[in-house]
Amino acid sequence: MPIVAPSLLAADFLHLQDECTMLNESEADWFHLDVMDGVFVPNISFGLPVIEQIRTTTQKTCDVHLMIVQPERYAEAFKKAGADMLTVHIEACTHLHRNVQQIKSLGMQAGVSLNPHTPVDSLKDILHDIDMVLLMSVNPGFGGQSFILHTLQKIKELRRMIDNQGLNTKIEIDGGITLNNAASIVRAGADVLVAGSTVFKSADPKATIRALKHIV
């Protein structure tokens, strides 16, 4: 069964408490929290104070996806705000190895994210150091975009790399996941499904989460 991580980017921010309660009562495993700086991506979302408050509503894993430049400036602050996992973009880190060590030394799990154009090969010398790879299946910055089909090849290739090295690094897929494509994503080798619009814009979010959880 995949780990299901609804992205609160698509939540109703005027009723955030209700959305958190819904997730807590659902089969969702993680809260996926998208932080954007308007520099690394052409959009700005929410940041530390919002995550700090969401943290008080849940015991579930807070999976923070940083779409920001120089993420090392804020790793400690996100730990304090309650992040359990912190994912940074390979394209935003000149000293990725140092950034990963920093995240781990702060007591969080470390994830590395790849934009659609970045080959999975580029993880070769960092894969054994990280807890998760987040493959972007859309260009980061916005919810509600269409899944880039080529991602399925990348998942398979990454699955092979991880298995060949005997690692248990998780593969998380983010962007454009629907009830129609989720099964093929899991079959290709994904461990974690992020879903924003599919969950929060559905008539029955809890049922949609359940459907994603039992998709294969």
Active-site annotation holder among 29, 131, 174, 191: 174
Look at residue 189 and give the partner it binds from ligand DX5, Zn ion, none, a contact being a CB closer than 5 to 8 Å depending on partner kind.
none
174 is catalytic: yes
CA distances from 156 to 110, 119, 171, 178, 184 (A): 21, 12, 10, 19, 11
**Could you tell me the smallest distance in angstroms from the CB atom of residue 166 to ligand DX5?**
29
131 versus 174: smaller Cβ distance to Zn ion: 174
Q: Give which of ligand DX5, Zn ion, none residue 51 binds (C-beta under 5 to 8 Å, depending on kind).
A: none
Q: Rounded distance, CA 59 to CA 195, Å?
A: 19
Residue 87 touches which of Zn ion, ligand DX5, none (Cβ within 5-8 Å per kind): none
83 binds, among Zn ion, ligand DX5, none (CB under 5 to 8 A by kind): none
**Residues 59, 21: Cα–Cα separation, whole Å:** 11
Cα 211 from Cα 216, distance rounded (Å): 9
CA gap 108, 100 in Å, rounded? 10
Out of 174, 177, 192, 209, point to the residue binding Zn ion (CB under 5 A): 174
- Determine phi and psi for 167, rounding to 5 degrees: -95, 165
Give the nearer residue to ligand DX5 in terms of CB position, either 97 or 150.
Answer: 150
Q: Phi and psi at residue 6, in whole multiples of 5°?
A: -60, 140
What is the x/- site pattern for Zn ion, positions 58-77, by CB under 5 A?
-------x------------
Q: Is 29 a catalytic residue?
A: no
Footprint of ligand DX5 on this chain (CB under 6 A)?
7, 9-10, 32, 34, 65, 138, 140-141, 143-145, 174-177, 194-198
Closest separation between CB of residue 164 and Zn ion, Å?
27
Amino acid letter at 142?
Answer: F
213 binds Zn ion (CB under 5 A): no
- Return the C-alpha torsion angle 53, 57, 58, 61, nearest 10: -10
End-to-end CA distance of the chain: 7
Whichever of 109 and 167 has its CB closer to ligand DX5, that residue is 109
User: Is 34 a residue that touches Zn ion (CB under 5 A)?
Assistant: yes
Q: Write out the DSSP string of 53-82.
A: HHHTT--SEEEEEEE-SSGGGTHHHHHHHT
Q: 71 is in the binding site of which of Zn ion, ligand DX5, none (Cβ under 5 to 8 A by kind)?
A: none
Q: Which residues are catalytic?
A: 34, 174
Interacting residue ranges for Zn ion, rule: CB under 5 A: 34, 65, 174
